[in-house]
């Protein structure tokens, strides 16, 4: 049963919703847009906020739905290791999708969806607060995401005090760093309003 859940979570994460939407709406290939990432951000750039928002929600849902239902509605005595593996599967599925010849996206939306599932929805408002705050402070998207994730990790470790959740989120952050390694070569760039107040 555990193996079935692992495979299910992986397949859910691997479904390339943004790519499917881009094809359905006759959008140029996502690997020719922006940073070439087959995710919702480039779909948003290519098709505007309406199609882009649908893409974001679908990408979030493929992390949220399997994790929330597997961990909360199946009466299984899963070990912490099994919970960690299952929780990471949607993220790895998106990052290495067999539907895209194992060349997937950067796993940002699916990460958020997974964390929303792990925290019973709490990661949705808290994530918005961290992301908005960091976006207002500095311009580098990768650093905004990383600092926000670290902030959420600290917050949820304090709230939930579950070892498997801390390990899952830590490994998830390391994966995000790996997927954004090129962007982290650029330094944090503060917004002009902060520079002027220094």
Token pair for 35: 């940073």
Q: Is 75 exposed, middle or buried, given 0-12, 13-18 or 19+ CB atoms closer than 10 A?
A: exposed
- Among candidates 107, 105, 145, which has minimal Cα distance to 127? 145
Per-residue pLDDT of the chain (198 residues; tens, 9 = 90+): 689 999 999 999 999 998 888 889 888 878 778 777 888 888 888 888 888 899 999 999 999 999 999 988 775 788 999 999 999 999 999 999 999 889 888 899 999 999 999 999 999 999 999 999 999 999 888 899 999 999 999 999 999 999 999 999 999 999 999 998 888 888 888 888 877 766
- Among candidates 36, 42, 58, 60, which has minimal Cα distance to 128? 60
CA dihedral angle for residue 73, residue 76, residue 80, residue 85, rounded to 10 degrees: -70
Contacts of residues 183-189 at CB distance under 8 Å and 24 or more positions apart, as own/partner, are 183/140, 183/141, 183/142, 183/143, 184/142, 184/143, 184/146, 186/140, 186/142, 187/140, 188/138, 188/140, 188/143, 189/138, 189/139, 189/140
pTM score of the predicted model: 0.91
pLDDT value at residue 190:
84
Give the span between the Cα atoms of 78 and 171, in whole angstroms: 19
Residues 6+ apart with CB under 8 A from 153: 166, 169, 170, 173
As a whole number of Å, the CA-based R_g of the chain is 17
- Helices and strands per DSSP (H, E), number in the chain: 10, 0
Residue in this structure with the two tokens 């919703």, named with its chain if needed: 17
């Amino acid at each position: 049963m555990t193996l079935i859940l692992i495979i299910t979570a992986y397949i859910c994460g691997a479904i390339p919703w943004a790519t499917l939407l881009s094809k359905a709406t006759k959008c140029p290939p996502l690997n020719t847009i922006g940073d070439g990432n087959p995710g919702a951000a480039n779909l948003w750039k290519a098709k505007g906020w309406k199609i882009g928002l649908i893409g974001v929600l679908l990408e979030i849902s493929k992390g949220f739905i399997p994790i929330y239902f597997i961990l909360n509605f199946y009466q299984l005595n899963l070990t912490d290791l099994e919970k960690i593996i299952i929780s990471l599967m949607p993220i790895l599925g998106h990052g290495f999708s067999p539907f895209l010849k194992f060349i997937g996206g950067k796993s940002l939306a699916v990460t958020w969806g997974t964390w929303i599932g792990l925290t019973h929805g709490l990661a949705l408002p808290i994530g918005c607060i961290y992301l908005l705050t960091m976006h207002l402070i500095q311009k580098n998207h990768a650093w905004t995401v990383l600092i926000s994730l670290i902030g959420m990790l600290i917050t949820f470790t304090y709230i939930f005090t579950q070892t498997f959740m801390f390990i899952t989120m830590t490994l998830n952050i390391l994966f995000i760093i790996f997927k954004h390694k090129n962007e982290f070569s650029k330094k944090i760039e503060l917004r002009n309003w902060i520079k002027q107040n220094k």
